């Protein structure tokens, strides 16, 4: 499935944690400017697969990865691919909001400072733009120098999105970004995702099948390290091809 629309192409991906074969020959495309969801019961490998997309698993000792992950046709596992560059292009938002214990402003410009930027005016502009992009500007514009940890959880999560936007990623990975949030806060993040996909490519892991059905364009159903079925979201939820998918979405297990 090599087409120009594919921002990422995963093919024949295997991952071992020591002897444990956690991903088994997984193949899947991720289309540009769309939302791709990964669903499946706990322990099936969703987070592991997501982490392969920006090589976060490299940080875990004993991990072995084989197969291909192409980002704009370049293999991110090739020895010549710069991992720091990769993590700038493919950013991640985690399950629990993880703002740094710094001011709201310093959180947003953190990555810019690490990259050596010291033009204050430029950083202020980027901070404003990123906070607007994460729909947080109006909430925080009068208290940019307050601690980020004072914000309610959903605003902390949007701050983590703003922190990513500041470094202008191309792909945003989200691992159960709403699982610590109440339904109203969840709705706001889902609306934000739909807005973000105009400019970014998004891959989301979710336990919440309704969430996958609401926000995603494509869905991959995983079970025990395998990609059981990958298709247009509507088809996965209304006429799955595989019996295992049907059993999961109809709530027979998981």
Ligand X SMILES: Nc1ncnc2c1ncn2[C@@H]1O[C@H](COP(=O)(O)OP(=O)(O)OP(=O)(O)O)[C@@H](O)[C@H]1O
Q: Where are the beta strands (DSSP E) in the chain?
A: 6-17, 20-31, 35-39, 63-71, 74-75, 90-93, 171-175, 201-205, 218-223, 226-232
Taking CB under 6 A as the rule, does residue 163 contact ligand X? no
**Least distance (Å) between residue 6 CB and ligand X:** 23
Which one of Mg ion, ligand X, none interacts with residue 22, CB within 5 to 8 A by kind? ligand X
Instruction: Tell me, residue by residue from 198 to 217, as one string, x for binding to ligand X by CB under 6 A and - for no binding.
Output: ---------x----------
- Which strands form 226-232's sheet, in the order they lie side by side? 90-93, 171-175, 201-205, 35-39, 218-223, 226-232
Distance of CA 237 to the CA centre of its chain: 21
Choices 38-46, 156-164, 195-203, 243-251 (CB under 6 A): range interacting with ligand X: 38-46
Which one of ligand X, Mg ion, none interacts with residue 60, CB within 5 to 8 A by kind? ligand X
Among candidates 67, 111, 73, 116, which has minimal Cα distance to 92? 111
Query: Of 29, 45, 169, 177, which lies in the binding site for ligand X, with binding defined by CB under 6 A?
Result: 45
Taking CB under 6 A as the rule, does residue 155 contact ligand X? no
Taking CB under 6 A as the rule, does residue 6 contact ligand X? no
Choices 43-51, 115-123, 187-195, 227-235 (CB under 5 A): range interacting with Mg ion: 43-51
Applying CB under 5 A, the site for Mg ion has a residue count of 1
Give the separation between CA 11 and CA 125, rounded to whole angstroms. Answer: 40
Torsion of Cα atoms, 191 then 195 then 197 then 202, to 10°: -40
Nearby residues of 55 by Cβ (< 8 Å), 6 or more positions away: 76, 77, 83, 86, 87
Nearby residues of 99 by Cβ (< 8 Å), 6 or more positions away: 107, 148, 149, 151, 156, 159, 160, 163
Query: Of 2, 5, 12, 43, which lies in the binding site for ligand X, with binding defined by CB under 6 A?
Result: 43
**Least distance (Å) between residue 211 CB and Mg ion:** 14
Query: Of 6, 31, 36, 47, which lies in the binding site for ligand X, with binding defined by CB under 6 A?
Result: 47
Query: Of 17, 100, 110, 137, which lies in the binding site for ligand X, with binding defined by CB under 6 A?
Result: 17
Residues lying near ligand X in the complex (CB under 6 A) are found at 17, 20, 22, 40, 42-48, 60, 207
Binding interface with Mg ion (CB under 5 A): 47
């Amino acid at each position: 499935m090599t087409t120009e629309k594919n921002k990422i192409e995963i093919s024949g991906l295997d991952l071992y944690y020591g002897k444990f074969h956690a991903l088994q020959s997984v193949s899947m495309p991720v289309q540009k400017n769309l939302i791709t969801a990964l669903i499946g019961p706990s322990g099936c490998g969703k987070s592991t697969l997501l982490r392969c997309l920006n090589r976060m698993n490299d940080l875990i000792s004993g991990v072995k990865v084989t197969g291909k992950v192409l980002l704009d046709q370049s293999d991110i596992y090739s020895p010549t691919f710069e991992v720091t560059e990769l993590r700038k292009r493919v950013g991640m938002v985690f399950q629990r909001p993880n703002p740094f214990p710094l001011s709201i402003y310093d959180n947003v410009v953190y990555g810019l400072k690490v990259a050596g930027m010291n033009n204050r005016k430029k950083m202020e502009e980027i901070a404003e733009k990123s906070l607007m992009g994460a729909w947080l500007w109006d909430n925080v514009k009068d208290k940019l120098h307050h601690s980020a940890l004072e914000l309610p959880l959903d605003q902390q999560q949007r701050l983590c999105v703003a922190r990513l936007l500041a470094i202008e990623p191309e792909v945003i990975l989200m691992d159960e970004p709403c699982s610590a949030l109440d339904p109203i806060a969840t709705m706001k993040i889902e609306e934000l995702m739909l807005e973000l996909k105009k400019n970014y490519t998004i891959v989301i892991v979710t336990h919440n099948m309704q969430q996958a059905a609401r926000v995603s364009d494509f869905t991959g159903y995983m079970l025990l390290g395998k990609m059981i079925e990958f298709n247009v979201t509507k088809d996965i939820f209304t006429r799955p091809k595989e019996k295992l998918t049907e059993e999961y979405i109809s709530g027979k297990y998981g």
